[in-house]
């Protein structure tokens, strides 16, 4: 207020405009007229429909953004539905008087907050002062310089830049920090609407990216427990030759099915490669000791999918599971499922996948699945051993 009074007095006495400092010059006096016919101009609605929709979306987002920022700063809750209702009634009233579209302003909210406003009564006081200004004080404020008006807005908005949040995002999540920077720079240089639009667009792209490339992990058993964890986080976790346990940490749907299929193929190939390398090392050690060659199976027999984090599965995913079962069963590999939720299990049963892979290969936990697979592998090895032992060479005669 001191700055405003000083600038007005200075302009009235020194004439800053004559010295190259622009002033506001003209502020329409009085209240706008009641214009119901313009407010309900249905004939031209089609021409402005797209613009109206964009104003509604961007205006509401702008209002909610500043409301949430101030709510977080002062520790209170906001109701988005009430905010939307308030904006609708405000714009309805403004439209009857040929007024501007109304949103929660970043700059004016910041100035109001810096002035110490605590409740909505401050808006009533502001409205009353604006009314008095329009009726009686417009000649005075016409002397105000543009630079003074800008400085008031900037000083208020600067307080809304949350530097601590930026530092926190940089330490915790680089993607969120990047989105914060795009929103900040876009709002600063391109305006609130474009800045918010860019931030929302980037956020949607990040959501799509994370959804299309979900996190998956190969699991191993923690020594001495029945818990299975990501082998990257727990290198000491035990794995078993011939068994690959894979956890999928996202819903499986059309956007990520191909990525999940490729990851499963990568995990199976990596497991085969590790088995082959380990057996090769053992063979070399046996040859060095002069012992016979090592006769071991080098294939993956069971692929276990941990589905506890899969909240949803669609038809595209069911087709992919069918294709994977067909592909891997032709190679002698059996697919197993563990801990699917009720909705996922209904989809597996309804699509026939459960019966196709065999319901005996659907388990409550990864430990139960691995225990079953180990017994099956031991049983197969015993059958193969007995069969090989019973075979008689052609040059041997048996009485």
Domains assigned to the chain: 2-209 (no CATH), 216-390 (3.30.750.24)
State residue 37's pLDDT score. 64
Task: Determine the pLDDT at residue 398.
Answer: 38
Residues 214, 260 contacting (CB under 8 angstroms):
yes
Please give the pLDDT value at position 325: 94
* pLDDT given for residue 25 in this prediction: 84
pTM: 0.63
Q: Please, what are the averages of pLDDT over each run of 10 residues along the chain (399 residues)?
A: 88 84 84 70 73 81 84 85 89 82 80 83 88 86 89 78 84 87 85 79 86 92 93 92 93 92 94 84 68 61 94 93 93 94 94 93 94 86 50 43
């Amino acid at each position: 207020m001191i700055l405003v009074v000083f600038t007005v007095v200075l302009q009235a006495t020194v004439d800053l405009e004559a010295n190259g400092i622009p002033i506001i010059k003209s502020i329409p006096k009085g209240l706008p007229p009641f214009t119901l016919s313009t407010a309900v101009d249905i004939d031209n609605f089609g021409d402005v429909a797209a613009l109206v929709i964009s104003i509604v979306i961007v205006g509401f987002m702008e209002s909610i953004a500043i409301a949430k920022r101030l709510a977080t700063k002062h520790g209170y809750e906001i109701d988005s539905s009430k905010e939307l209702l308030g904006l609708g009634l405000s714009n309805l009233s403004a439209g009857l008087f040929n007024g501007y579209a109304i949103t929660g302003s970043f700059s004016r909210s910041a100035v109001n907050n810096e002035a110490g406003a605590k409740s909505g009564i401050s808006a009533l006081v502001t409205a009353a002062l604006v009314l008095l200004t329009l009726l009686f004080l417009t000649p005075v404020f016409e002397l105000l310089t543009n630079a003074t008006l800008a400085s008031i807005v900037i000083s208020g908005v600067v307080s809304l830049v949350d530097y601590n949040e930026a530092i926190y995002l940089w330490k915790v999540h680089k993607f969120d920090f990047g989105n914060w920077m795009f929103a900040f720079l876009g709002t600063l240089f391109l305006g609130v609407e474009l800045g918010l639009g860019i931030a929302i667009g980037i956020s949607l792209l990040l959501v799509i990216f994370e959804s299309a490339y979900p996190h998956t992990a190969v699991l191993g058993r923690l020594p001495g427990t029945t818990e299975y964890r990501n082998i990257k986080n727990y290198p000491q976790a035990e794995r078993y030759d011939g068994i690959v346990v894979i956890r999928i940490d996202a819903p499986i749907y059309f956007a990520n099915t191909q990525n999940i299929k490729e990851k499963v193929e990568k995990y199976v190939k990596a497991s085969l490669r590790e088995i082959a390398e380990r057996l090769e090392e053992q063979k070399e050690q046996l040859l060095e000791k002069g012992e016979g060659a090592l006769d071991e199976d080098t294939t993956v027999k069971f692929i276990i999918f941990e589905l506890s984090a899969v909240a949803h599965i669609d038809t595209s995913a069911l087709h992919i599971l069918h294709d994977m079962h067909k592909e891997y069963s032709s190679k002698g590999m059996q697919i197993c499922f563990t801990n699917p939720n009720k909705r996922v299990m209904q989809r597996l049963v309804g699509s026939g996948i459960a019966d196709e892979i065999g319901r005996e290969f659907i388990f409550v936990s990864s430990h139960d699945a691995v225990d079953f697979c180990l017994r099956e592998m031991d049983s197969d090895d015993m059958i193969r051993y007995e069969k090989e032992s019973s075979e008689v060479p052609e040059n041997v005669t048996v009485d």
